[in-house]
Every structure is written in structure tokens, then in C-alpha cells.
Amino acid sequence: MVNEVLKKERDYKMTKLSPLQIERLKYQPKLPSSLKGGINSLEMVEGSATQSVADQEEIRNLFPNTYGKPTVTFKSSSFSKSSEARNVGVILSGGQAPGGHNVIAGLYDALKNSNPNSKLYGFLGGPSGIIDGKYVEFDDEFINAYRNTGGFDIIGSGRTKLETEDQFQESLKVCQKLGISAVVIIGGDDSNTNAALLAEWFTNHNTGIQVIGCPKTIDGDLKNDQIEISFGFDTATKTYAELIGNIERDANSAKKYWHFVKIMGRSASHVALEAALQTQPNITLISEEVEAKQMSLDSIVSYMTDIIVKRAAMGKNFGIAIVPEGLIEFIPEMKSMIANLNDIMAELETDPSFMNATSMHDKFAIVEKRLDDVNASVYSSLPVGIKAQLLADRDPHGNVQVSKIETEKLLIEMISNKLSELKSRGEYIGKFSAQSHFFGYEGRCAFPSNFDADYCYSLGYNAYALISNGLSGYLSSVKNLTASADQWIAGGVPLTMMMNMEKRHGAMKPVIKKALVELDGPVFKQLADNREDWAMNDRYLFPGAVQYFGPSSVCDITTVTLRLEQSKQLAGV
Ligand code: FBP
């Protein structure tokens, strides 16, 4: 039945393809040369044993079977082995990111290349699909309809956290019913934490089922020495940069608005930083810098107001300000208040007086009573809308849903108040008229850029190489990404290598460590070295739309972030 519904949906879509879709379906993604000979002609080379990035003893104790394994790389071999048919399941997990369909296409092609009788099952609606036994079986026609397309609609996604004994038992039953001996989880840091837990459980229970992760997230925060970039970051940042460039041109034409653009990326500011380097706006806030400099909300507002007033004195009553989505969590007084609030919310979720409170004001009062004194006064000083947004449900991993907090509007309101104050003291403030934007969902399902199409296909293909070499608890890794695709290096990195202990839902849990913007790194330095110039002089850049056909210099370029990070590594800095 489920298959039938999906089939009908797909068949309808196939009759309504746009000219671009028709051409993109024909695009053949590039593979690293080591994988081009096929799955059965690969040699696996082991690196040295690994350890977790922090909290080694706790992580080792929690993952006794999968901890400490070596990194691996693949090289092509002239010896070709035969492979038995296998059944594999795949899950799309967390927020959408351009290229997810190509990971599945790469995995499918590798599986069939290895043995045409192998089967690939897609679990529906994210990790809950493997628990509830909701799945589809892919065939050529199904996969071909989604090659090089954006979105996760091939099987849908979800944010269920796989962590309980019951969930693992149910997953095992479903895998055994379908004869599945390996599961691929395509997700970000939290979803790959799920993958690590499931891998450990399956190994510990001698199930013979392997688990492999693939690094997905537009946020760009799942990266380290082994993972150069998460997929989707390239396309999403290019999409936001196109939109910001368009807004810059509009602002520079009409010269009457300040545009405040909040940009997705959750905690880390990689997306905001990359979009800023591509477009050179007047103001770019970076959450990690705000935290390092211990900037209060008031000092951020003063910094921005100062630029607005100076530009007004030059006759420029317009500009662009970029605000990273997670800013609020990095402002010291807010961070402390949110941490306190998260612990309280974990208790209040089961407290009838809070859950049944009919007015928001009653909820605010309950929360303020429970918060520590300082945190209560920070919370109560916020506008009502922001206070309510901070009480919205946590995601299943216990994170505040920063996409729901309108920081850009909070800043506009506070800057307007500060400007009124200055005006009342007789200072010249020009005219301040602001527009707010939030770019996030617009970029998550765009057609994958050529880079993401190639990278994702390679990640999926490589995931099966890891499976066929008997590995579990590994993340598919493809490196050397600023070189041409044939020189990319395919391999795997143990998931436990990226883990540390963090507080979630009020308790310490093993999680994959998020990569935040490095303030001493070349990417942030590029912004820091130029922002004074960009603030006063309009140095706007207009990157335009992602291009799929045309010269390689236009179609195959990677992000500024990746280029700068790679040049640092090449220089051995
Ligand atoms: P993940 O890739 O980490 O799952 O999140 C991506 C993301 O787009 C974040 O940037 C954003 O904060 C969040 O998802 C929004 O979540 P939702 O789609 O549930 O609104």
C-alpha cells in the first residue's frame, strides 16, 4: 500500500518534469578514481587506531565493541572478488540537505554493482521507519526518478532519536524480517550519534548487522580532520548567497532599507560566515566571536547601532546585516539562561501545572519562579514573543529550536529603541527603516550543485564499500575535495572518534562533537580582515544562482570555506 502511494506520487511527478529536471536526471555524478572500478575491486588500507576527541574513558566504556577502531581508505585493486547478495536498509535523518537522494542512488548503484541480486530498502519518515517497520524496496525505476534532485521526499525524513533498548529490539526485528544485514543512516551530528549507538548495540548483541553513517547537514558543523565538509552545505550556502546578493542589489538601488537576514545553521555560524564571504554585507555577526568576546545583547546592539549611525552620517540609510540562527545561545547571559531553562523544561514537560496552564503569562510566571535569580531577570527582560519562542518544544535531542526564535526581529526592536534614545539626546541618526528575513528552508531542498551531486553519490557508493569490507560504526568519508573528483580519497572514520560527553535533556550523554567556527582559522580571518571596509563602503558581491551547465569554472566551484580550510592544510598551518 505504502509502495503504491509513493509510486503514484512519483509517476505523477515524472509527467510534470521541468526542462531543468529532465536534464539533471541525465547527469552522471563523478566518483573518485579508486571507486570507479567497482565495489568488488577494492583494497582497504587501515590507518592507525583512533580515540574519541574528549572524555576517552567514558566513551570507551559506553562503546566497548566499536571504540578505538582504525580509520580506513580504499584503493582500487586489480584483483576482483565475488560478493554474495545482501539486503541493506537506508534512513534519511534530521533536516533536509541537498544531495540526499544522490547518497541513496550511489548506495543503490554500488550494491547492484557488487551483486545484482542485492536489495536496498528505504525506511520511511526517518529513524521511526526502522522501528515501526515502514519501508519501500527500491528498484531502478524508483531510483532513476530521483537522481540529482533536491529534497528528501524519496522516503521522507524525521528526528526520532534511536536510543532505547525497546527501539533497538524493534529495529532488530524489522531488519531480521527483511533479511537486512546493514543499515546506512544519512544524518548530522545527532543522527550519527544514533548510528553509533545502534552499531554498538547490534555488535554487542551479535546480530551480524552493520551500521554506517553519512555526513549530512547544511549547517556545516559535522566536520573534522577526517570529514572535510558535510553534504548540503555547498548548495545551501550558494542558494542563500544568491538571495543575499539580490537583496544587496535591491538595497543599493532603493537606498532606503536596512535588511536583517537571519541565516540557518543551528548553533554554528559556518553558513552565515560562508554566505557573508560570498556577498560581503555591511555587518556579519558570528556567534562564536560573540561568545569569545563575552558580548552582551546590549553590546551587540551598540556595535550594530554604531555602524548604522555612521553610515547615516554618510547619507547611507541602508545596509545588510547577517545574523546567524544560533546567535541567542551564544550571548553569555542568554546562554546561561537557556541552559537553566533547558533543565527546567525537561522537568516541566511532565508537570501538569505547566502543561495545563492556559495563558502564556502563567507559563512565564512558572518558569521565572524556577529560574535562578539572574537568569529569571534576563528572561523577564525579553519581549513577550521571544519569551514564548524560548518555551517552544525542544527537538528530540533536547536542543532549543533556534529556527523558531526571531533574533533578527529582536535586534531590530532593540536597535530602534537605542536609536530613539540617541535621537532624544540630539544625536543625528538618519532614517532607520528595517526589513527582516529568515533564510533556511529555501536552501535545504535546492537541486544539489554539481559538487553536492558528485560528493553525495560518492558518499553513498563508498558507504557500501565500507559495508562490503565488514565495517560497522563508521562514517563514510570522502576527502581531498578541492581537487578534481577523480583525485578524491574514499574511506571511513570510526564514529566514536568524533564523540564527547555533553548535557542533553538534563543528563550527560555521548554525542558527536559539533565543529564551531574557529576564530583563529583562515575563514573567520577573511571576514575579520575586511569587515570594517565592508561596513562603510559598499563592497557587495552578487554570486547569482547555482549553475548546473556551462564552464567548469562556474559549475564546479566549491565554497570559500572549503577552499580556505584546504589551503591552510596544504600550507601545513
Ligand atoms: P540537521 O541537519 O542538523 O538535522 O539540521 C538542519 C537544520 O536546517 C538547522 O539548520 C535548523 O536549525 C533545523 O534544521 C531546523 O529544524 P526543523 O526542520 O525541524 O525546523
Q: Give the mean pLDDT of 77-84.
A: 85
Does 234 score more than 80 pLDDT? yes
3-state secondary structure 147-179: CCCCCCCCCCCECCCCCCHHHHHHHHHHHHHHC
Q: How far is the CA of 112 from the centre of ligand 1 (A)?
A: 32
Mutate to test the pocket of ligand 1, among 91, 159, 218 (most ligand atoms within 8 A of CB): 218
Least confident of 157-171, 395-409, 504-518: 395-409
**Average confidence score pLDDT of the chain:** 94
What residues does CATH 3.40.50.450 cover in the chain? 4-232+448-504
Does 9 score more than 80 pLDDT? no
Does 573 score more than 50 pLDDT? no
Domain 4-232+448-504 fold? Rossmann fold (3.40.50)
Does 379 score more than 50 pLDDT? yes
Q: Report the side by side order of strands in the sheet with 210-215.
A: 42-49, 70-76, 489-494, 474-479, 210-215, 180-187, 87-92, 119-123, 135-137
Pocket of ligand 1 (CB under 6 A): 94-95, 97, 188, 217-219, 264-266, 325, 402-403, 440, 444
- Can 219 be counted among the known catalytic residues? yes
User: Of all helices (H) and strands (E), which one includes residue 320?
Assistant: strand 319-324
Pairing relation of β-strands 319-324 and 180-187? unpaired
Does 7 score more than 80 pLDDT? no
What residues contact 132, with CB distance under 8 A and at least 6 apart?
170, 174
Superfamily of domain 234-444+521-550: Phosphofructokinase domain (3.40.50.460)
- State what percent of residues in the chain have pLDDT above 90: 88
What local confidence, expressed as pLDDT, does residue 8 receive? Answer: 80
- Name the 3-class secondary structure at 180: strand
| CB-CB contact of 412 with 438 (8 Å) | no
Does 36 score more than 70 pLDDT? yes
Cell numbers standing for residue 357: 496552564
Interval 97-155: pLDDT, tens: 999 999 999 999 999 999 999 999 999 999 999 999 999 999 999 999 999 999 999 99
What local confidence, expressed as pLDDT, does residue 10 receive? Answer: 77
Does 510 score more than 70 pLDDT? yes
Classify burial at 164, counting beta carbons within 10 Å of its beta carbon; exposed 0-12, middle 13-18, buried 19 or more. exposed
More confident residue, 568 or 188: 188
Specify the residue with its C-alpha closest to ligand 1, atom 12.
266
Specify the residue with its C-alpha closest to ligand 1, atom 11.
266
Interval 537-562: pLDDT, tens: 999 999 999 999 999 999 999 999 99
Q: Give the mean pLDDT of 331-338.
A: 94
φ, ψ for residue 324, nearest 5 deg: -70, 145
What are the b/e assignments for 447-456, b being 16+ CB within 10 Å?
Answer: bbbbbbbbbb
What local confidence, expressed as pLDDT, does residue 530 receive? Answer: 98
- State what percent of residues in the chain have pLDDT above 70: 98
What residues does CATH 3.40.50.460 cover in the chain? 234-444+521-550
What local confidence, expressed as pLDDT, does residue 465 receive? Answer: 98
- Name the 3-class secondary structure at 90: strand
Q: How far is the CA of 28 from the centre of ligand 1 (A)?
A: 29
